[in-house]
Every structure is written in structure tokens, then in C-alpha cells.
Amino acid sequence: MVRMTGRQHGSGHVLANMTYISRLGHDPEKQVDLHTSEGDVLREGRDMQELARDWQQWETGDEARRQGATSLSMILSMPANTDPERLKEAALAFAREEFANRSWVAALHVDRDHPHVHLTIARRDHDGRRFHPDRDDLFRYRQRFAQKLRDRGIEANATPARARGIDPKHEPIAARKIREQGAVPQIDKSR
């Protein structure tokens, strides 16, 4: 799954996002590596602060560029029992390919029932163009991320659940219980 999760305005907000996704300031055993688009791994707050300032300076380089978010964030997640290291490798490969002309940071989280990677992307690319992802972009991200997962032996689909024959709405409990008794619920008769 690829989902946009937020926008960060200014270097302070970008830094707060970086410290959150890296778990900086938590128990040192809980801190995770913050991977950058340049191939570095950041673990120190001062390095994150410097990067956040760089992004903000680039975003506000002239009067015409002083409005809007400095960065966007998204989550790349998979179900429980997905190999976290292969997920991280797929996410980093996806980011390197999809966002080759802009700065980004990524961090793997395994503290929930499903592993996921937080990805934060600078709004301006290296040529000064702003980043405005739309539905088509998100669909492309899902396709490319799914391919990176499959390249690493993780089964993944980029199609909507409904297209795969899965109704995203939960089945009514009453209908399930009627089926368990061997009868056909009214909801099935009306389809």
C-alpha cells in the first residue's frame, strides 16, 4: 500500500518529521536508520537539522517560492509477516527510481503489526520544479512499488481490492452467520 500521510511546512516541521520517523529521542534501542537519497544514513539530530534547513532554503530560494509545503510524506506498507528487510530494500529502490531528481529520506518501522516505511520527499526537485502528486501519480507509485516488492520475492498487487474480487467493505455479521447455518442471506439474493 502507498498512502500520502502529510505535508511539512518549514524546516522545523521537516525536522520534526525526520526525528519522528527515525525515532530520534526515544530509547536508543528503538531508534531506526534514516536513509537519504544520497545514500547516507543519518542518526544524529544535527545532521537531520542541517538537511531540513537545506530543504527549506531550496524551497524558499526566491520570492515566488515562499509559499507551500517544504516536503510531503507517505507510507509504504505491507501486511504482517512481510520480511521487513526486503520491504525496506524495495522501498529504497522505489524511492531512488521514482524520486531520482529530488531529495528524500526513508525509515523502516517494525513496531506495529505490519512493517512499513515512512518516506518524506522534498517538494522541489533539483531543477526547482514542485511536486504535486495526483491520483494517477499515486497509482503509478503503487505499481512501481509492487514491482520492486515482486523483484524481491514479495507477493504484491497494485490493483484496487475491488478489481481483485475483494469487497473492501466488511461482510455484515448477520450475513456471515446465516451462511454458517447453511442458508442464503437476503443480501446475496438481491445481487
Q: Is 78 left (phi over 0), alpha (psi -120 to 50) or beta?
A: beta
Residue 95, CB-side half-sphere exposure with 13 Å CA sphere:
28
Structure confidence at residue 171 (pLDDT) = 63
Q: Which residues pair with 105 in a beta bridge?
A: 36, 120
Distance between CA atoms of 54 and 160, rounded to whole angstroms? 37
At residue 128, what are phi and psi to the nearest 5 degrees? 90, 0
Domain boundaries, the chain: 2-158
Evaluate whether 14 touches 52 at the Cβ level (below 8 Å). yes
| Entry pTM | 0.80
Q: Tell me the per-residue pLDDT of 108-161, one tens digit each, with 9 for 90 and over.
A: 999 878 999 999 999 989 998 888 899 899 999 999 999 999 999 999 987 765
Evaluate whether 33 touches 94 at the Cβ level (below 8 Å). no
Q: Tell me the per-residue pLDDT of 38-82, one tens digit each, with 9 for 90 and over.
A: 999 998 889 999 999 999 888 877 655 556 889 999 999 999 999
Q: What is the CATH number of domain 2-158?
A: 3.30.930.30
Evaluate whether 76 touches 117 at the Cβ level (below 8 Å). yes
DSSP string, 88-157: HHHHHHHHHHHTTTEEEEEEEE-SSSS-EEEEEEEEEETTSPBP---HHHHHHHHHHHHHHHHHTT----
Structure confidence at residue 165 (pLDDT) = 58
DSSP tag of 62: S
Question: Please, what is the end-to-end C-alpha distance for the chain in angstroms?
Answer: 30
Evaluate whether 106 touches 95 at the Cβ level (below 8 Å). yes
pLDDT, average across residues 170-176: 71
Q: Which residues pair with 7 in a beta bridge?
A: 72
Type of residue found at 105: V
